[in-house]
Structure 1
Amino acid sequence: MRTFSNETARRILANEIKVEALLQQYPEYQEEVLQELGVIKNNTESNIVHAIIDRYTASAKLATSKIRKSGLNEATVNVFLPKIIKARFAIYLLEQLNVAVSAKSPATSVRFNLWDGTILQKLLFRKGFDRKPVSLGLFKFWWRLISHKEILMPLVNKKGIYCFYSKALIKELSTLLGDKKCLEIAAGDGTLTRFLQQKNIDCHATDDYSWEHYITYPQSVEKADAKAALQKYSPEAVLCSWPVPGNPYEKHVFRTPSVDLYIMLGTSEAAVTGDFAAYTNADKFSMERSERLSALLLPPSDENAVYIFRRKTQG
């Protein structure tokens, strides 16, 4: 049995320790909670979720009462404090893993089962919808265990997320870009630029903010349309991830004299991403679909495509 100091008990009772910190400090209780919540994997009725929340809430209230009445008696604390920690874990997981509870509307009760949500949240996000570079090895291992893969992208599309970037992809892009002055256009929330900056790449994220109804733009993403940004920064390299199909801005990349490298991350389908008419007319650039880089975009798909455009040498 784990033992707790009075100070630890006091801080937990006062809710002074964030759940994220508790998860790190007491991983054994997290595993117990996940096992206890396993019923949700095969039963997503809202009343089941409600019953679980009610049970944990009642358990935490009883444990809190027992501890306080005991005057933080060591034996009482050691028996009942884990019940409070586990209750906080359970409710936190249900909230964070997109499990929405509604006793009146079973159809909206659960968007991901607990197991899918737990795996995807840990693999793909730091918190909320804040993406992180994804370990390709871990992704390949866990992805096969996801029951409802088809839910992921429709869910995150609502937040302006159309792909995830593996660590291996970021490393390869960093090598390609090297010490070039780089610009990302139509950058959305700036995730790709942020990852590249962490690799010491000189990259600047810009977007015209036309998708404010979907995306929360951070201050790190400069409000500027592609043409204006290209004129302002005269970049040597340009990136664009999931450009709108038939968009009006990629053509300006090929018209910018300073650009000698353009990388488009998206799909091979003209109806889904990219201005393929502009690609065809970019006679001063070579065009290559990198199968290696395409395979590093996540989730995996035969349609994933990373196109590399290089300015042709004159001779």
Structure 2
Amino acid sequence: MRNFTSDTAKKILANEINVETLLTQYPEYKQEVLDELRVLKSNHESNIVQAIIDKYTASAKMAKNKIMKSGMNETTVNAFLPHIIKARFAIYLLEQLNTAAAANASDKNVKFNLWDGMILQKLLFRKGFERKPVSLGLFRLGWKLVMHKKILMPLVNQKGIYCFYSKPLIGELAKLIGGKSCLEIAAGDGTLTKFLIGKNVGCKATDDYSWQHYISYPEFVEKADAKTALHKYNPEVVLCSWPVPKNPYEKHVFQTGSVDMYIVIGTRNPAYTGDFDAYNNNGKFTMELNERLSSLIVPPSPENAVYIFRRIQK
């Protein structure tokens, strides 16, 4: 059994140590997770990914409750902290496998032909993989001409891109935020913040840099986990685009007293984005699925979702 110092345990519980560091420090838990994943996969459950997420999330919650109730008792910490580490490993490994699978599927089946590549480059990017605000009119016209639509997102997912922002969406978000102080958490390459700054919105982009294996972080994206950033900037409005499913950071938004509005861009499916436990049980904010804003995400999908949380005034 590992012996954890009190300081290490507190950092792990607060999600202040990134997964790559934990993998280096506790390789034996990675092997345990891999062995457990093989066993779970052999059960041939229809929704194996969701089953794995549910298993490890429940295990981590139980472990955290045990540790907190014990008052950080050393024996309890040593017994249950590995469950939390293993849960983080499992989610991380699933993300890697999902990206690898998408890449392999694209390589084995079909890549964009010159025609599709030319159209999509014109519609979605300034240069390379640098996104631009998308003209909905041009997109609707050009999208009809793309032959292999289904491989767009698997290909760009490898670059940490999960959606494209239309010009009307950026404009509507700018109106919602107005002159309020704004913070984007888990900002990735900072594209959303950059577009909003172009609309004269005072927004700060932050990310914990835990996705360096996928994303090249520009200098204007400050390296900070969500909890630290929220405490540092005390924003009135918070943004998050495509938050990791059942993540450990969105709950801190609802616990930050300065926040009046939280805007999430993602999907309707808890298996793909968002901490829906925090969404549904925060008790301090109303929750609205804005259909109009959801329709302004590119490419179009019935799964696209923009959620707006507003603090309940007492």
Question: What TM-score bracket applies, with the shorter chain setting the length?
Answer: 0.5 to 0.7
Deviations 1:91-144 (A, max 9, x none): xxxxxxxxxxxxxxxx77972011110000010000000000000010011111
Residues 109, 296 of structure 1: alpha-carbon distance in 2 compared, 3 angstrom cutoff: closer
Provide the residue aligned with 2:212 in structure 1. Answer: 212
By how many angstroms is 1:222 displaced?
A: 0.2
By how many angstroms is 1:301 displaced?
A: 0.2
Q: Secondary structure at the match of 1:231?
A: helix
Q: Secondary structure at the match of 1:123?
A: helix
Provide the residue aligned with 1:198 in structure 2. Answer: 198
Provide the residue aligned with 2:245 in structure 1. Answer: 245
User: What is the alpha-carbon distance in structure 1 between the residues aligned to residue 108 and residue 268 of structure 2?
Assistant: 34
**Unaligned runs of at least 5 residues, structure 2:** 1-106
Provide the residue aligned with 1:181 in structure 2. Answer: 181
Provide the residue aligned with 1:235 in structure 2. Answer: 235
User: What is the alpha-carbon distance in structure 2 between the residues aligned to residue 184 and residue 224 of structure 1?
Assistant: 11
Compute the RMSD of aligned alpha carbons. 1.1
Query: What is the TM-score with the length of structure 2 in the denominator?
Result: 0.65
User: What is the alpha-carbon distance in structure 2 between the residues aligned to residue 263 and residue 208 of structure 1?
Assistant: 19
Q: Secondary structure at the match of 2:313?
A: coil
User: What is the alpha-carbon distance in structure 1 between the residues aligned to residue 110 and residue 287 of structure 2?
Assistant: 44
Give percent identity, aligned residues only: 72
Q: Secondary structure at the match of 2:205?
A: strand
**Unaligned runs of at least 5 residues, structure 1:** 1-106
Q: Which amino acid aligns with 2:125?
A: F
User: What is the alpha-carbon distance in structure 1 between the residues aligned to residue 225 and residue 109 of structure 2?
Assistant: 40
Provide the residue aligned with 1:172 in structure 2. Answer: 172
User: What is the alpha-carbon distance in structure 2 between the residues aligned to residue 288 and residue 157 of structure 1?
Assistant: 27
User: What is the alpha-carbon distance in structure 2 between the residues aligned to residue 295 and residue 109 of structure 1?
Assistant: 29
User: What is the alpha-carbon distance in structure 2 between the residues aligned to residue 249 and residue 218 of structure 1?
Assistant: 22
User: What is the alpha-carbon distance in structure 2 between the residues aligned to residue 250 and residue 208 of structure 1?
Assistant: 13
By how many angstroms is 1:249 displaced?
A: 0.3
Deviations 1:18-71 (A, max 9, x none): xxxxxxxxxxxxxxxxxxxxxxxxxxxxxxxxxxxxxxxxxxxxxxxxxxxxxx
Deviations 1:260-306 (A, max 9, x none): 00000000000000000000111110000000000000100000000
Describe how 1:28-177 pairs up with structure 2 within 5 A: 111-177=111-177
Provide the residue aligned with 1:287 in structure 2. Answer: 287
Deviations 1:152-198 (A, max 9, x none): 00000000000000000000000000001000000000000000000
Matched, 1:263 2:267: no
Q: Which amino acid aligns with 2:175?
A: T
Query: What is the TM-score with the length of structure 1 in the denominator?
Result: 0.65
Q: Secondary structure at the match of 1:288?
A: strand
Which portions of structure 1, spanning 4 or more consecutive aligned residues, are displaced by more than 3 angstroms?
A: 107-110
Q: Which amino acid aligns with 1:294?
A: S
By how many angstroms is 1:145 displaced?
A: 1.1
